[in-house]
């Protein structure tokens, strides 16, 4: 009889799958305010809405971080006198 295959053990089986911004920021090692800058800059995986809460997938955050995530938010455009956006840098 072939051996039975079992799924890989989960390191923290009681850990939530979805994280609010505070725990999500701690997971990747940044402050909550930096986490929000990354979110506004489009640098994070998209959250899911559960009622009034925004939740980030623990697995997606880990995969994003492990793939070489950029922990710096993108440069914000600066408005010139003519109204054209110029990259701040």
Distance CA 21, CA 56 (A): 8
Instruction: Give pLDDT, residue 53.
Output: 95
β-pair type (77-79, 48-50): unpaired
Q: Where are the domains of the chain?
A: 18-71
Taking residue 50's Cβ as centre, other Cβ atoms within 10 Å add up to 10
Instruction: Give pLDDT, residue 15.
Output: 79
Furthest CA-CA distance within the chain: 77
Band (76; pLDDT cuts 50, 70, 90): low
Taking residue 42's Cβ as centre, other Cβ atoms within 10 Å add up to 9
Provide DSSP, 33-80.
HHHHHHHHTT-SPPPEEETTEEEEEHHHHHHHHHTT---SPPPPEEE-
Note the pLDDT tens digit of each residue in 47-65: 999 999 999 999 999 999 9
CATH class of domain segment(s) 18-71 = mainly alpha
Note the pLDDT tens digit of each residue in 6-61: 665 666 667 788 999 999 999 999 999 999 999 998 889 999 999 999 999 999 99
């Amino acid at each position: 009889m072939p051996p039975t295959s079992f799924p890989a053990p989960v390191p923290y089986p009681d850990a939530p799958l979805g994280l609010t911004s505070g725990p999500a920021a701690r997971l990747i090692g940044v402050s909550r305010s930096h986490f929000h800058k990354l979110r506004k800059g489009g640098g994070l995986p998209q959250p899911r809405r559960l009622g009034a809460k925004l939740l980030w997938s623990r697995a997606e955050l880990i995969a994003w971080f492990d793939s070489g995530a950029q922990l710096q938010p993108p440069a914000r455009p600066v408005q010139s006198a003519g109204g054209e956006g110029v990259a701040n840098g």
